[in-house]
Amino acid sequence: MEKSSPLGRTSIAETCKEESPLLPFVKQEPEPREQSPPSVLDKLQTIWLVTRNDLKSIVFPETAFGICSALSGPILTSNRSPQPMIILGRLPLVLLWTWLNVLIFDLANQRLPNSIIEDSINKSWRPIPSGRLSAAQARRLLLGNIPLVFLVTFYIGGMEETVAMFVLTWMYNDLGGADESYIVRNLINALGFVCYSSGATRVACGYGHCFLNDEAYQWLAIIGGIVFSTLQAQDMADQEGDRARGRGTLPLVHGDWIARWTIAVPVMFWTVACLLFWELGLYAWILPTCLGCLVAFRTLVYRSVDGDKLTWYCWNFWITSLYLLPLVKYYGLRL
């Protein structure tokens, strides 16, 4: 009989006992003492910690993508006259849609033995390595949340993208698509970002109110290309944990210095390519170009773990600035 409640604290050794005999370097901890059931606030904090790391890279940027794309009206959608107040009123739904899909991915990922190895090194504050949650409890949460997320997205929109991300999550985590080849890993991530972007836009537009046009699909393809060719920026700070779990990321396969150039050069290329794609004036070049130069510069110069973590934050601001370009185009045409 377990001594911890469904979202109570457990040891790392106990967490991994029923999942895998891995983690040989994890210290065996004594059995936890009897604890009172966690409060609702404690449970909510546990769920928040599951998704915390992806708020900056997926939830907030992809919510911005959806809202800005819907506000751009005929630039990306069939809506000829977007109503800003109506679209902004859907912001909570877009946030909810994006966060729920991130929750499914993170639960599926963080429950796996190899992920626990990595997180115990790179992100020890996460619920499983910190003992707030066991792998078995995460699996049960995943089982309960998959049908819930499906029903929510069926109601608010973006269901097709959600189902596609269920498949990508399975490929990435359970089939090991993230571990064997950085090319496969970046490809799955790129497709995931495309799904997030498309789904967030559909929810922001309103379920059944409009559809994406041909230019939107071209823009989504460009976003996929950006993610595929630059997402290794997030791997630079995680090399120790990735090495421990045997993940073949680009910096571990080809070396740190080569990996940095594979980030810096594409970042500058995509910055210029996106601005040319939207045929924007010089004023629109300022923010994306400054952020792109900052990411490229920091990637090549600041090579510590802390430096790479801050550079990853800059990458997220940079790609978000690109997400704004269709909106800049729309209001530029209306001036």
pTM: 0.86
State residue 2's pLDDT score.
40
State residue 333's pLDDT score.
66
State residue 3's pLDDT score.
42
Intervals of the chain under pLDDT 70? 1-36, 333-335
Q: Is 254 helix (H, G, I), strand (E, B) or coil?
A: helix
DSSP 8-state class, residue 126: S
Of residues 109, 129, 113, the one with CA closest to residue 121 = 129
> What is the rounded distance in angstroms from the CA atom of residue 18 to the CA atom of residue 12?
11
Helix axes of 91-110 and 40-54: crossing angle, nearest 10 degrees? 90
C-alpha to C-alpha distances, 252 to 180, 232, 242, 258, nearest whole angstrom: 12, 11, 8, 10
**Residues 122 and 240 sit within 8 Å (Cβ to Cβ):** yes
**Residues 199 and 94 sit within 8 Å (Cβ to Cβ):** no
pLDDT tens-digit readout, 243-283:
888 888 999 999 999 999 999 999 999 999 999 999 998 88
**Residues 239 and 254 sit within 8 Å (Cβ to Cβ):** no
> What is the rounded distance in angstroms from the CA atom of residue 264 to the CA atom of residue 203?
33
Q: Compute the radius of gyration of the chain from its Cα atoms.
A: 21
How many separate helices (H) and strands (E) can be counted in the chain? 16, 0
Which residue reads 């449970």 in tokens? 43
